[in-house]
Structure 1
Amino acid sequence: MTVHSPAPTRSSRRGGSTPTISDVAARAGVSPMTVSRVINGETNVRPKTRETVNAAIAALNYAPNPAARSLAGAGQTRIGLLYSNPSAGFLSEFLLGSLEQASRRDVQIVVEKCELGDHELEVTRHLIEGGIDGIILPPPLCEAAGVLDLLAKAGIPAIAVATAMPSADQLAIGIDDREAASMMTQHIMDLGHRRIGFITGDPNLSASAQRYAGYTAALEQAGLPFDPSLVADGLFTYRSGLDAAEQLLALENPPTAIFASNDDMAAATVAIAHRRGIDVPGDLTVCGFDDTTLSTAIWPELTTIHQPIADMARAAVDLLVTAIRQSGSDAKIERHQTLDFTLIRRQSDAAPRRRPRESRT
């Protein structure tokens, strides 16, 4: 098992003319692992797939590198993990779960960081050209259209983690974000709160929209009017949480509770409350989402939704490896897996104070 840092992009053609195993895989519409199986004469490949791969090999005049062929014969699966996540807490748990499960499955995992923009495509090409067999995409890359298209054209299986709306043929691991957010909103209402602020997540991620939908659905079910002034935009970053909390707490009639779409923004809300002399939870209930290490690293500790991040990473490794090793066979796999979530109650929530709150200047 190895962990690599980003390296310069290499050309997929040695000297600009020699085809690679990734070229053969792309032409045949299969994964490099399937090409490797055909080259090594393995029997767990469907005849039609074998014919397609052999036709691609002939069309490209591909000659396997003896050293690469020897490595392929060893049978070790190589998967990539491409990440660009603003939450250090989410990322650390995700990496830990991925590395642990890769070790258990005897899988080599290559970890690459990228910056959103064109860089993620450059790093994805680097992984493809390195002969990767599959790739794990945690948020926000789980819904990066350019990356997904590039992998599909190369015939490399990818698994999207924490996407709320995967396509039918996509490998995906997640939770029911809408139901989780609805449960948390209901919990806050059960405490007696009626003015509940909400901080949204990254607008480019479906999970953000689902959490917002859960918040509004719970209000509607309880017969509470929706107040758009109680919703502030966030980006899942601590900094965006600071700005959103300032906006909500500066209202003439501020909320008595704030539900943030992740723990980073909830922690930022607690910080702004402290700065304004507002007691949490005496004057303001604050709740988060994810249950990262940050949720217990601040005071008061956060009431939050436990999203099983490490378990999601382990499940992603398992499902991706299974898909790779069964490529070309008739075996069926469950492409979408939904894991359970839990509402964790700690010290940051309480019933609303019955007297006007006091604050310091």
Structure 2
Amino acid sequence: MLKATRDQVLAWRLRQQGLTPRTMSTVAELAERLAGVQAQVASSAELAIATRQRKPRAGAVEKALADRTVVKTWSMRGTLHLLVPEQMAAFQSLLAAARTWEKPSWQRSFGVTPDQMERLGDAVDELLDGGRAMSRAELTEAIIAMPGYGDLREQLTSGWGTVLKPLAWTGHLCHGSGEGNRTAFVSPRSHVPGWTGVPEPEEAARVAVPAYLRAHGPATAEAFDAWLIRGLTRKADMRARFASLGDRLTEVDVDGDGERAYLLAEDADGLARTKPSKEVRLLAGFDQYVLGPGTADTRLIAADRRKAVSRTAGWISPVVVHEGRVAGVWDFTDDGTVDVRLFAESGAVPKAALEAEVAHLAACTGRGLELSVRTV
């Protein structure tokens, strides 16, 4: 069993995720490297990409979506993500395998039966056939105009698209490139390069688990499932998917904590050679560096600071990372200031490094920015 320290793990993740050092990678390369980029807030996704690039390029995400080197769709934890086609089908398969829409609690909350969900998939396939793109309103009106669907208007128009998300996971729809803020739904069959459908979960696990561990390992099967679908997969199924990878995985003991954490065997030497990081980074809200292990990971975020990072309504703050750990939070202000609030217990964070990060944020956003630092 490989032994590693917390500081080694955090430094290794920074490097794996293109943060130290920054890269010349494209949007698609970074989306693949990060096992997806959460895009519920488009500006956060754009900044998460740009902060990892030495020379960020305005409009790069929109171009990647238009070129279909990345696809936007509802994926992990039911949130929008930018995914590369090669990983998208695998993640969707494991999400679909949990069959959350068949659970009685889901049906009571959203009022759609499993049979209705299956028929909705058939209806969407028909409506989006041949590369047709439809807005949510257009798709909803077209569905309820079909015989037998008229009583689903409320379910299709309410909330955060909850009823439509299983249709994304089962391969019936995804987001098209769109125009401006207009969401256009399309069929993956016509939109996603190389799409051959959603694979069986066993096949999907051989892509999805390594993709996650390559960016966020060493990690437990439970951490992977929390990241994927908030822990809703049957434990036996998730353990079996990890076990099926056999000697592709190696166990890692992090600081002697006794957890069964796993890493790709091919990455073991790289982790063992990793030195602790002294770097400072200002990361976007909803950044994968935080979302991958989750905000409950006290190696990354002190327990009594979790609420400062994971706020109401699922909002994940932009964070200051120093020596691999979350050392504070920050925000843009209306007057062009980057308002940094450092956690008092995190120790001194070099001001010169913070100033360099603000300069990089200015390059990412095309704005003139000033630094303001205070301790909280």
**What range describes the TM-score normalised by the shorter chain of this pair?**
under 0.3
Query: What is the TM-score of this pair, normalised by structure 1?
Result: 0.23
Tell me which of the two structures has the higher relative contact order, counting C-alpha pairs closer than 8 angstroms and 6 or more residues apart: 2
Q: Which has the larger radius of gyration?
A: 1
